[in-house]
Amino acid sequence: MEKTLKKENFNSLITGLKDQGYRTIAPKKDNNLVTLDEVQSADEIHLDHVQTNNSIKEYFLPKTEKILSYTLEKNKVSIEEPEGFAVKSVVFGSRPCDAASLPIMDKVFNWDCSDKFWVERREAITIVTIACDKCDNYCFCTSVGLAPDSKEGSDVLLTKISDDEYLVETVTEKGEGLIKGLETVFSDPVAGTPDRQVASVEKKFEIDKIKPWLDENFAHKIWAEFSMKCISCGACTFVCPTCHCFDIVDECTMSKGDRVKNWDGCQFKMFTLHTSGHNPRSTQDQRWRQRIMHKFKYYVEKFDNILCVGCGRCSRVCPADMNISEMLEIIATEENQKE
């Protein structure tokens, strides 16, 4: 289904969603940061940005979330299960790369057994993506098989067709249901081909060259070279929409407590540290290699997907100015030279 949406109707859209019981999450400007956050009205929505500083991930895999609660009385333990964590929501104005991360992550959270905290949030949240009309040097979606107007993972895709109007394409039944429920907000498209304003993202490397090189080069010196600058802060893993590693810890007072799942990251030394003191990934080159290998080799072998959507956040946020797409370019070049 195709419709159009005027910018001036954003407010009726958000109000309409609210009336239907949706929480709306959208890009919001706070000082200099544009963050995906809950909004109450369209006035708060900020769309003049390349990328939000946080990814869509935290609405499906929160930074910290209760997986069970317990009360302790003398010798008795009672367990309570969390409820109400899957809030009916719309993410409005996510980027296509963020949306594409969701079906990729569905695989790890559903294989063998399903993580209900992920699955129930996925069911409760509808994704309305806005295609990118601009990009920066860090963006590399086109190098990992996506595009600034990819539909993967979106329920509805909006594409700017003029300064004050968007083309609305429904991608899933869920998206169609959402649009149908708010018919008055949308208009029918005018005849003719609309002028889609979509950014042109430079293709930096051939993704097909990456895995063959990784298959052969676990012990290559490049890992030490790449990670020399790394300070092991793990910011890259936290801003990444596809990094999903987590920790499970107890938080407790005398008689009550929660077991919580927290974001964790492969760049931390503690991540793999054994109780004995032994650490299979004790040095930073091993940990950086793990990050690249997990994204471009291990996940591909296990789930047939690259664990990267080219959003560029890891490189934008890195305090040591490490740039993942530059590294992948080097790897692709190495592979080419081999041939």
For residues 173 and 274, which CB has a smaller minimum distance to another protein in the complex?
274
Give the footprint of another protein on residues 238-267 (CB under 8 A).
244-250, 252, 257, 259, 261, 264, 266
Question: Does 77 participate in binding another protein (rule CB under 8 A)?
Answer: yes
Question: What is d(CA 189, CA 174) in angstroms, rounded to the nearest whole number?
Answer: 21
Question: Does 202 participate in binding another protein (rule CB under 8 A)?
Answer: no
**11, 137, 232, 286: which one contacts another protein (CB under 8 A)?**
286
Contact (Cβ atoms closer than 8 angstroms) between residue 79 and residue 68? yes
For residues 32 and 75, which CB has a smaller minimum distance to another protein in the complex?
75
Question: Does 280 participate in binding another protein (rule CB under 8 A)?
Answer: yes
Number of residues near another protein (by CB under 8 A): 51
Radius of gyration of the chain (CA): 22
**31, 84, 112, 190: which one contacts another protein (CB under 8 A)?**
112
Question: Does 88 participate in binding another protein (rule CB under 8 A)?
Answer: no
Q: Quick one: which segment of 20-28, 166-174, 268-276, 313-321 binds another protein (CB under 8 A)?
A: 268-276
In the chain, the amino acid numbered 257 is G
Six-digit token string for 97:
């790369």
In angstroms, how far is the first alpha carbon of the chain from the final one? 47
What angle (nearest 5°) sits at the alpha carbon of residue 78, between those of residues 76 and 79?
150
CB atoms within 10 A of CB 313: 25
The most distant pair of C-alpha atoms in the chain lies apart, rounded to whole Å, by 74
In sequence order, what DSSP letters do the residues of 43-59 get, joined into one string? GGB----S--SS-GGGG
**59, 92, 109, 186: which one contacts another protein (CB under 8 A)?**
109
Q: Quick one: which segment of 127-135, 226-234, 297-305, 330-338 binds another protein (CB under 8 A)?
A: 297-305
**35, 70, 174, 232: which one contacts another protein (CB under 8 A)?**
70
Structure letter (DSSP) for residue 294: I
**3, 122, 281, 313: which one contacts another protein (CB under 8 A)?**
281
Which residues, at least 6 apart from 294, have a Cβ–Cβ distance to it below 8 Å? 266, 307
Six-digit token string for 269:
């030394």
Which residues are at the interface with another protein (CB under 8 A)?
A: 67-68, 70, 72, 75-77, 79, 81, 108-109, 111-116, 119-120, 218-219, 244-250, 252, 257, 259, 261, 264, 266, 271-276, 278, 280-281, 286, 290, 293-294, 297-298, 301-302
